[in-house]
Amino acid sequence: MASRPRGQRLLRTLLATLVAASVAVPVSGAARPTAVPAPAPADLGPLRAATPGALAARYAVNRDGIRAAERTAAGHGDRSRAAALRAMAAPARQFLSFDGRDGGRTAEVFGDLARAERIAVLVPGSDTSLDTYERFRAGALALHHELDGRTAVIAWLGYATPGTLSTEVLTPALAADAAPQLVRFVGELNEARPTARVSVLCHSYGSVVCGRAASGLSVADIVLYGSPGAGSDGVASLHTRATVWAGRGTGDWIAEVPHGQLPLPFATLGLGEDPLSPAFGARVFAAGSGGHSDYLRPGTLSLENLARIVSGRLPAEEHRRAA
């Protein structure tokens, strides 16, 4: 959708500000997440069946891969990354996939995937990597605790996320690269658990990934929360039969991000229409008063409503909860 003139000015201003910030922010001596080496993962092939035995074998192979990445990180002198990987290799952790290269790619399961009747796939936003993974994992755990035992939650870090203070976060380019990976992953889930009800929950820039992937996702719900846009002008252009939901906390700074898209010679600037606008056409759910990182915080209305959507129930309204 072409932006209105005012939207174009705002987008150009935002681009100029972030370009200046990316130049002005000093480069520290710490290694970037992508700079820490890791061995290539084992080639496990697609997930064909989610039987207890097949899943246990897959979790074990990925645990070995995490331990190998831990040894490599320790040899590289990155104690923080090594410690994070050591925690990820704990016997109780369940990884469908793991690749420690280029900032990290993972898919961690919370719950019993072999028996799950419902599956929630969390798609993260900017600044998510192995070095910040615990923040992402905490949200997945909180959602899992909000749901019953027949639901599995998967934290899918399947793409190179942009930095919040970067020009990459202003364009759908990284999302376009990530979308086929999400389509492939959800397709494997559909094949392995064909009777399960699958929902994708997309935070921040993850909404752009889900928007780009939407037409290829066989899911019940696409939930956009804390979203700057989905790379489109509305639900109709997503070409999906899923119910598209959108929610935003009243304390979320993302509401101030300019909306629209502006074609430039080198890229498309902007992430599309505001998913909460009537023009977009999503079903809006109450997300409480939290900020951009609070949607999966225990005890919040946003977490309650995300869990209700995953369970196939209608979200609670603000005034009903207050009563």
Say whether pLDDT at 320 is over 80.
no
Q: What is the DSSP letter of 126?
A: T
Q: What is the pLDDT of residues 17-32, one digit of tens each?
A: 444 334 333 333 344 5
Q: What is the pLDDT of residues 42-81, one digit of tens each?
A: 999 999 999 999 999 999 999 999 999 999 999 999 999 9
Task: Look up the pTM and report it.
Answer: 0.90
Residue 23 pLDDT: 36
Q: What is the pLDDT of residues 259-272, one digit of tens each?
A: 998 888 777 889 99
Q: Which residues contact 304 (CB under 8 A, 6 or more apart)?
A: 146, 315, 316, 321
Residue 268 pLDDT: 81
Report the residue count for the chain: 323
**310, 313, 319, 323: CA torsion to nearest 10:** -110
The type of residue at 62 is: N
Integer Cα distance of 30 and 275 in angstroms? 37
Residue 243 pLDDT: 98
H or E, element range at 61: helix 52-76
Contact status, residue 247 vs residue 284, Cβ threshold 8 Å: yes
